[in-house]
Each structure stands twice: as structure tokens, then as C-alpha cells.
Structure 1
Amino acid sequence: MIGFVNVNKWYGEYHALVDINGKVDKGEVVVVCGPSGSGKSTLIRTVNRLEEIDRGKIHFDGKNIHDAKIEINAYRSAVGFVFQQFNLFPHLSVLENIVLSPVRVKREKRAAARDNAMRLLERVGLGGKADAFPAQLSGGQQQRVAIARALAMDPPAMLFDEPTSALDPEMVGEVLAVMKGLASEGMTMMCVTHEMNFAREVADQIWFMDEGKLLETAAPEAFFSNPQHPRARRFLSDLRNH
């Protein structure tokens, strides 16, 4: 579903992504972890071209995403992306936030888009909040609306860029529960997160990054019990001590 081939990115002289190679299969959950500044968010943002790469190739659902024939806004709208900051439109109700893209971009009939939006709100546990505005919701509720909004475009895969890091601790669980539900339904997911319990329970693969390099890829059991790279061992040791 998602493939990285010798992907490199620079910011001036800073080498942010260094020869990244990896793939996310259909129906697989990959958790990208590592210390702050390791390139995790930059990597995931290259998948929908919020960050452009300087060398290499990225494939998504069988297409080279840098092909000249790709219309970037149409492509980007088909890739489910959930941000650290919820990025909801504050002047629109919860329902209108979810309906907007299917109607504007996919040209869905408004009634059908509303029906689907209500189904999605029920799915994320917010069926009673359709008429509320973002400012009336907790952070965890806003993030669940953001997930429903991404799902409204029926994406083949979902990308999560530290979706719980802006939340109070008691709200983290409600967002992770929705993500676990998606994983159990077979959604292809790539998640940048510091939630290691989620990674242990839900991921099919752990990708460990540092200094722009993908240093280790492993199944969760192997990664958490016997990481191979010294930097990964130090990272996990620091986490446990903390």
C-alpha cells in the first residue's frame, strides 16, 4: 500500500531523511517511533506530499505519488491524515466539518454525505455531538471528529501524526480506542506516536528512527523484548526509566 525507496530530504544543509526504505502492506499497522527530531513526522508527511522529498520514490496504492499525472489536491484528499493539532474548522459544526470534503471534493450528494457523517460520528462515539462546534468539545472529542472527517473520504489508508500528543492524559485512551477499532477492521495505518502500549498491542511492524534514518524494523514482540540496534535499546531503556 505504501512504499519508500531510497527517500531523502534536506532542509538546507540538514539531512532530515536519509535513504529511507520500507513498505506498509495492505491491512497492516506500522508504528513509527523514535526520539524527538528523528524525522518521524517528516516521513509520514511525505506520504501525502505535505513535505516534498529531494530524492527517491514513494508509492501509494500502486501509484508513484510524484508522477506528473497526479493531481496533488485530488490525491491528497484521498489519503486520510490525522494531525497532532485537530485542524477542524472552528466556524463549522461537527457535522459540517465532516460533510465538507465529500460534498466539495468528491461531489457527493449532500443528503448521502450527511447520512455517512452521522454513521461515522456514531462509530467514533460522538453521535450526539453533530450540531456542536469544535470549541464546545474536549480535545479528545475534537480528535475523534478529525478521524471521522478523514474516514468520510473513504481512504485506502490512514496516516496519524502524533494524534494524542496534544491531549490531556485522560483523553488519550478515547482516541487510541478509535484507532484500535480501525486496526481491527483491517484499515491500513501508519502512525507516528509515543504511545508504546498502543504500539505493542496494535502494530504489525515497529519502525524505529533516529537522525533521519530508519534504524530498525521489527515485529512488536521482537522490538520490545530484544531490539537489535544500540540506539533502539537506549531509547527503550530511557522510556522504562522515565
Structure 2
Amino acid sequence: MTPFIIFNQVSKWYGEYPALKELNGEIKKGEVVVICGPSGSGKSTLIRTVNRLESIQKGQILFDGLDIHGTSTRLNQLRTRIGFVFQNFNLFPHLSVLENIMLSPAKVLGVKRDEVQALAGELLERVGLSHKANAYPGQLSGGQQQRVAIARALAMKPPVMLFDEPTSALDPEMVGEVLNVMRALARDGMTMICVTHEMNFAREVADTIWFMDEGRILEKATPEHFFTSPSHSRARQFISDLRNH
């Protein structure tokens, strides 16, 4: 099976600072990869290169055979196929929940209004927020806003979803409701890359864990292997620090 996403010798600098160093990795269709590691290790930078929110200086990232950072790649077309869920929701405050979800399929894909409204309704049901269709983002809790953001990303029917620390801006009691939606997506076979500090979620949902430090992937392992006997000393230290917390 050809990998769905391939990172090949990917490097990125911010000025003199190397954020990513000759990174290699492969993700299969339907695989859930959780990227973890200490703050500043390059996790968010890596995930943001997949939909070109960050550029790379060296190497290649292939998505379904397409060179993401290639000069001929059409950015808007690429982004319709890669759902991205941010830390801070990024919903349009002046649009209702339903309108937030309908906007991209209507504007970008040209889906007819009644079809897109039906789709938005289905997605709201999927994230457990049918009753909030006509509310505005400011009337929702953080957890509800993030679930709307997930529904909005799903409205484009992307074959892959990226999550960049989707629960880090939430109060602890709201984290579970967002992770439950992500768990359901994983069960449905969605290809997912998640940067998260939620290690119970990683243990339970990931097919593969990538452990990063200082711009490199130091370990790729199953959750079982990663949490019980990681190979790299830096990963062992990370797990030990987690336990002591």
C-alpha cells in the first residue's frame, strides 16, 4: 500500500534557527498518527507544513502523490482536501454556527444551498450540536466552538484531518467532548495527524506515535511500545517526566 503522506528529508529554518531537521516519515490511509514531545520540539511547525501554513526550505512532502510544496501545486485546491483544526477555533464571530459550516462548501466547491445546509445539519448532529445551529460562536463554550470547528473542517469532505493541539485552549472539563469527536472520526477510518499533549488519547486512539525533540522525529512506535518501553533515551525521559507529573 502506497503511503498517503510522505515526509522526505524535510528541513525548515526560521532565520538561523533550525525548526525541522531532515525529517522522514510515512502515513498510510486511515492511520492515526499522534505527534508528541516537549514544547518547542517542532510539532506544530511539522503539522503546519502539510497544508502549507509553513513553508519548507529543503526536502519534499507528498500528499496522495502530490508535491505539497511544488511550484505548480494550487494552494486553494490542496487545502480543500486537508482539514485543519486550530488551537483557537478560528470561527467567524458574525456568522451563525450553521453558516460557519456552510461557508466553504458553498463558496469554494459551489455546492447548492439546500445541499450544503443539509450537510451542515448532518455534521452538527455528528458533533452533538444540532441544537446550536442558529447560535453564534460567542454564545458557545470553548468545547462547543472547537466541535463546530471540526464540523466546519469536515464539511469539505477532506480525506485527511490535521489537529494542532485542539484541546490546549480549553478548560479541562471541555477537553473530553472534543476528544470524543476525534475518537469517533478515528473509528470511522479518517486519516489523522494530531499534535496533542493528551497522552491518554494518544495511548487509546493512535496507530503510531511520533516523538519529536529539537526538530527531529526521534521515535516512531505503537502506543504500547512507546508508553512501556521507548527506545530513545529522550523519549524515556519524556515518559518518566509525564509519570512524575
Once residues 68 and 44 of structure 1 are traced to their aligned partners in structure 2, the CA distance between those partners, rounded to angstroms, is 20
- The 5-angstrom pairing of residues 116-155 of structure 1 reads 116-155=119-158
- Aligned match of 1:65: 68
User: For 1:107, what is the secondary structure of its paired residue?
Assistant: coil
Say whether residues 1:24 and 2:51 are aligned partners: no
Q: Which AA in structure 2 matches 1:187?
A: M
- Aligned match of 1:82: 85
How far off is 1:7 after superposition? 0.1
TM-score, length-scaled by structure 2: 0.98
Once residues 98 and 81 of structure 2 are traced to their aligned partners in structure 1, the CA distance between those partners, rounded to angstroms, is 19
User: For 1:178, what is the secondary structure of its paired residue?
Assistant: helix
- Aligned match of 2:43: 40
- Aligned match of 1:198: 201
Say whether residues 1:107 and 2:110 are aligned partners: yes
Gapped regions of structure 2 (runs ≥ 5): none
Once residues 239 and 27 of structure 1 are traced to their aligned partners in structure 2, the CA distance between those partners, rounded to angstroms, is 28
CA contact 1:61–1:156 (8 Å) conserved in 2: no
CA contact 1:161–1:192 (8 Å) conserved in 2: yes
- Give the stretch that moved more between structures: 74-83 or 52-61: 74-83
- Aligned match of 2:189: 186
TM-score, length-scaled by structure 1: 0.99
Percent of matched pairs sharing the same residue: 71
CA contact 1:156–1:188 (8 Å) conserved in 2: yes
- Aligned match of 1:236: 239
Q: Which AA in structure 2 matches 1:60?
A: F
Gapped regions of structure 1 (runs ≥ 5): none
Q: Which AA in structure 2 matches 1:124?
A: V
Report the count of equivalent residues: 242
User: For 1:27, what is the secondary structure of its paired residue?
Assistant: coil
Once residues 199 and 70 of structure 2 are traced to their aligned partners in structure 1, the CA distance between those partners, rounded to angstroms, is 36
